[in-house]
Amino acid sequence: MRELKILVINNYGQFCHLIHRSVRDLDMDTKIVANTTPVDEILDEEPDGLILSGGPTMERAGICSEYVESIDLPILGICLGHQIIAKTFGGEVGQGSSGGYADIEVEIVDEDDLLKGIGPKTSVWASHADEVVRMPEEFIQLARSDICECEAMRHEERPIFGVQWHPEVAHTEKGEKLLTNFFEICETY
């Protein structure tokens, strides 16, 4: 696979720099970008894809909704990034029944391009302090768990994906595989 340029949008989550490092360690050109960067400046970077990082609250998500609505590139939302995507398209985000970080067993419902080679079940590291409680209408459920029905989703037509869990942390099985799958989506888009 050729070297792609992947911008990591900083939503002030504790793992943002780890996402950046994971992307770099997989031989991709990457850069952390503030979530208040104007859309035209994002496009001036000529990225092949965007990753919306996790973060503490929706209120600190900058203009990520604008990126999701107006940038025609593959986008992967992680944790808060996943929730931003859901909310942008009319889904609902609410408090989860399980709080802080924990090891969660996820069932892959639809393997899709993002989750190919990961299922049928996988163990992931995730926080469910907040989660997608209602998926947007034009999205397809990709994964679920016993504590959350929407662990992963994708847009029906656009290459927009969200996962509640953190593929960039060592505790997540096949996290590198998920990121590599996302790069393949970026390469063929």
**150 has catalytic annotation:** no
CA distance 152 to 103: 16
**156 has catalytic annotation:** no
Q: Which residue out of 64, 79, 148, 186 is catalytically annotated?
A: 79
**16 has catalytic annotation:** no
Q: Which residue out of 131, 168, 173, 186 is catalytically annotated?
A: 168
Buried b (16+ CB within 10 A) or exposed e, 74-93: bbbbbbbbbbbbbbbbebeb
Q: What is the rounded end-to-end Cα distance, in angstroms, of the chain?
A: 13
Q: Which residue out of 20, 82, 128, 166 is catalytically annotated?
A: 166
Tokens 């990126």 belong to 67
Active site residues: 79, 166, 168
